[in-house]
Amino acid sequence: MARRYDPERRQRIIDAAIRVVGAKGLAGLSHRSVAAEADVPLGSTTYHFKTLDELMVAALRQANEGFAKVLAARGGLEDPRTDLGAELAGWMGEWLAGDRTGVELEYELYLAALRRPALRPVAAEWAQDLAELLSRRTEPVTARALVALMDGICLQVLLTDASYDEEYARDMLRRIID
């Protein structure tokens, strides 16, 4: 029997892994659960991703790319006249006001790096890429502090189920920038 050419299969597996983690958490992620969700043979998942860590790396990388697209779509970071604190606070508000499942999923994958060393480079890339982007508007040390504050605010909102306070975020970001 000839193999069916399926160039989108790898991507469908990554998308399925993201859906599985979104629905069941990392504990529900397995090659078997992803194969069922993607409607592909189990062997396809292990062919494209030998380990679950490889699959999680691909999912986290895709989540990071989604974050970068949201940030780029706002466009305010490039204009030096834009209030950087207000722009970042607005971005976080937009991100947290969207599908909370997606945000939670991104953080769940991001925090999985605590226990899964294979994920650490990808998680570090996210913080590093954002700091580099912010370094266009401020010095690198300040950019790293802004990333840490934004991470902290987002995690507090997610973990406490509190509503996002954009005014507070804007004021704290401006303090670091100034």
The CATH number given to whatever domain includes residue 25 is: 1.10.10.60
* Separation of alpha carbons 81 and 39, rounded Å: 49
Note whether 38 and 88 are same-domain residues: no
Note whether 146 and 127 are same-domain residues: yes
DSSP-derived letter for residue 137 is T
Note whether 147 and 100 are same-domain residues: yes
* Separation of alpha carbons 65 and 30, rounded Å: 23
In a domain, 55, yes or no: no
Note whether 20 and 75 are same-domain residues: no
Res. 95: pLDDT tops 90: no
Q: What is the CATH number of the domain that holds 124?
A: 1.10.357.10
**Structural domain for 35, as ranges:** 1-50
Note whether 80 and 2 are same-domain residues: no
In a domain, 124, yes or no: yes
The answer to whether the pTM exceeds 0.75 is yes
Q: How many domains would you assign to the chain? A: 2
Distance of CA 82 to the CA centre of its chain: 25
Quick one: pLDDT band at residue 1, thresholds 50, 70, 90?
A: very low
Residue 98 tokens, joined: 């969207």
Q: Helix 52-74 to helix 84-97 angle, to the nearest 10 degrees?
A: 130
In a domain, 89, yes or no: yes
Question: Quick check: 154 and 100 in contact, CB under 8 A?
Answer: no
pLDDT digits (tens, 9 = 90+) for 18-53: 899 888 888 899 999 999 999 999 999 999 999 999
Question: Quick check: 130 and 147 in contact, CB under 8 A?
Answer: yes
Note whether 115 and 29 are same-domain residues: no
Distance of CA 91 to the CA centre of its chain: 14
Note whether 64 and 150 are same-domain residues: yes
